[in-house]
């Protein structure tokens, strides 16, 4: 199955305006807490004076630099004033072009899209026939038109890197070169928000890759032993809550210093702590904070370090936090890791379903909160002192 990866831009530039010359500008929206409070502070603006600058922004919209990809940037609002979501998929083989076009339309329509910027990354420029993959661009544009969505720009770029050539699929077939993505205004805003942009999808995937099997096997024994010791300890859940809060607090002080490293004892204790409803509830509230990067670093470290099936809870929290922050690519990788560890995990399956539907982050938040609340009531009802 072809999977579309998308990234919402909460916390990154998202307002888009057409200037007098038809050029696009964006201004950043502040990360939204669980209840949004209007602000009167002036918003700094980021201007895109030509398509190359928009192309240079794509890695920071996705969270990684795409290659051999089709990218759709959705525009919404009466004046195309909002970027809704950025979608990416692998370039399909010729026989799958129609299916890809139909699949891309589904999430576009779910977000009340007025128009899109369609972009192809990869392939060689053909001097006589223009940019490559025109059949894909035409198929997607036709499918979007059937859904009432216009294509504002259709662009091709060999690679999203400094000096790479880009061309338009329009009749005039204008073009230029891509400015340095790492020096763009979008890059500066992403850095200021504490958001990392990875050089490739593979490097993003490495952030959730499990530790070596030998280490995981040793930890599995330690986790099982700690779980057995904690089973009869009525204070173990409260200690787990305190340890989780302390770990996230320490991670907040360490933001920007590379991957978070946790000692073996902390990994083992947190693996067991995540089996408690109160700890998971605290973690979900941490995921909903205005700046969840510290909590996300903890979930990522635990996803790598905890052996299966225990790691499913950490991976699920990482998926939820990343998705609420707008990072569909990382969320998809994390929820897949959760399901690999525990294929029967009900909430992980629910989150995967939500991602497949391209559900809005605020919708997912409500869904997860209800699911956690139901699970907590179920756990309470089946305990010795519960009603069940």
Sequential DSSP letters for 270-295: HHHHTTSHHHHHHHHHHHTSS-THHH
DSSP 33: -
**Phi, psi torsion values for 191, nearest 5 degrees:** -60, -45
- 157 strand-pairing partners: 121, 166
User: Quick one: pLDDT band at residue 361, thresholds 50, 70, 90?
Assistant: confident
Please tell me the least confidently modeled range out of 166-175, 253-262, 363-372, 379-388.
Answer: 379-388
Tokens for 363, please give them: 């919708």
Q: What would the mean pLDDT of 317-342 be, rounded to a whole number?
A: 90
* pLDDT, position 312: 95
Q: Can you give the pLDDT at residue 47?
A: 59
DSSP string, 88-124: EEEPPPGGGHHHHHHHHHHHHHHTT-SEEEEEEE-S-
* DSSP 8-state symbol, 327: B
Mean pLDDT for 327-346 is 91
pLDDT in tens, 59-89: 988 889 999 999 999 887 666 666 778 889 9
Both tokens of residue 283?
A: 């973690």
Q: State the average pLDDT over residues 159-170.
A: 92
Lowest mean pLDDT among 43-57, 86-100, 143-157, 293-307: 43-57
Q: What is the pLDDT of residues 99-125, one digit of tens each?
A: 999 988 888 888 778 889 999 999 988
* Top-confidence residue, 261 or 371: 261
Higher-pLDDT residue of 359 and 153 is 153
User: What is the model's pLDDT at position 20?
Assistant: 25
CA 369 to CA 286: how far, in whole Å? Answer: 12
CA quadruple 252, 341, 68, 151: dihedral sign: negative
Would you tell me how many other CB atoms lie within 10 Å of the CB of residue 89?
18
The pLDDT score that the predictor gives to residue 42 is 33
Task: Supply the mean pLDDT for the chain.
Answer: 80
Q: Which residues pair with 120 in a beta bridge?
A: 70, 156
The model carries a pTM of 0.76
For 55, 220, 237, the CA distances from 129, given in Å and listed in that order, are: 22, 58, 66
* Predicted pLDDT at 11: 35
Q: pLDDT class for 303, splitting at 50, 70, 90?
A: very high
Exposed e or buried b for every residue in 318-331, given b needs 16+ CB within 10 A? bbbbbbbbbbbbbb
Q: In this predicted structure, what is the pLDDT of residue 124?
A: 86
pLDDT digits (tens, 9 = 90+) for 14-33: 333 322 222 333 333 322 22
**Rounded percentage of the chain residues whose pLDDT exceeds 70:** 77
Residue 246 has pLDDT above 80, yes or no: yes
């Amino acid at each position: 199955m072809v999977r579309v990866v998308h990234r919402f831009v909460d916390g990154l530039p998202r307002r888009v305006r057409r200037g007098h010359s038809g050029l696009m500008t964006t201004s950043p929206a502040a990360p939204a807490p669980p209840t949004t409070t209007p602000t009167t502070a002036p918003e700094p603006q980021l201007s895109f004076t030509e398509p190359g600058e928009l192309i240079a922004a794509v890695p920071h919209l996705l969270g990684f630099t795409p290659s051999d990809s089709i990218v759709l940037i959705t525009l919404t609002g009466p004046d195309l004033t909002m970027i809704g979501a950025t979608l990416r998929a692998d370039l399909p083989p010729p026989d799958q072009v129609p299916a890809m076009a139909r699949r891309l339309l589904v999430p576009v329509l779910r977000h009340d899209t007025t128009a899109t910027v369609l972009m192809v990354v990869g392939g060689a420029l053909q001097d006589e026939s223009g940019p490559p993959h025109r059949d894909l661009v035409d198929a997607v544009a036709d499918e979007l038109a059937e859904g009432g969505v216009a294509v504002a720009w259709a662009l091709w770029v060999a690679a999203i890197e400094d000096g790479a050539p880009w061309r338009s699929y329009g009749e005039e077939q204008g073009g230029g070169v891509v400015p340095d993505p790492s020096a763009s205004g979008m890059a500066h805003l992403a850095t200021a928000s504490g958001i990392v942009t990875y050089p490739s999808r593979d490097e993003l995937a490495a952030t959730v890759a499990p530790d070596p099997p030998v280490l995981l096997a040793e930890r599995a024994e330690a986790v099982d032993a700690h779980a057995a010791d904690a089973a009869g300890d009525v204070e173990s859940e409260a200690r787990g809550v305190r340890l989780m809060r302390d770990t996230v607090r320490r991670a907040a002080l360490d933001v920007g210093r590379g991957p978070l490293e946790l000692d073996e004892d902390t990994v083992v204790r947190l693996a067991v702590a995540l089996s408690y409803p109160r700890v998971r509830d605290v973690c979900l509230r941490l995921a909903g904070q205005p700046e969840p990067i510290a909590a996300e670093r903890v979930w990522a470290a635990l996803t790598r370090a905890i052996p299966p099936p225990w790691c499913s809870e950490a991976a699920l929290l990482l998926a939820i936090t990343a998705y609420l922050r707008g990072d569909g690519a990382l969320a998809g990788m994390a929820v897949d890791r959760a399901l690999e560890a525990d294929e029967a995990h009900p909430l992980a399956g629910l989150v995967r379903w939500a991602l497949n539907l391209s559900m809005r982050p605020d919708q997912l938040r409500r869904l997860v909160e209800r699911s956690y609340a139901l699970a907590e009531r179920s756990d309470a009802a089946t305990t010795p002192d519960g009603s069940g």
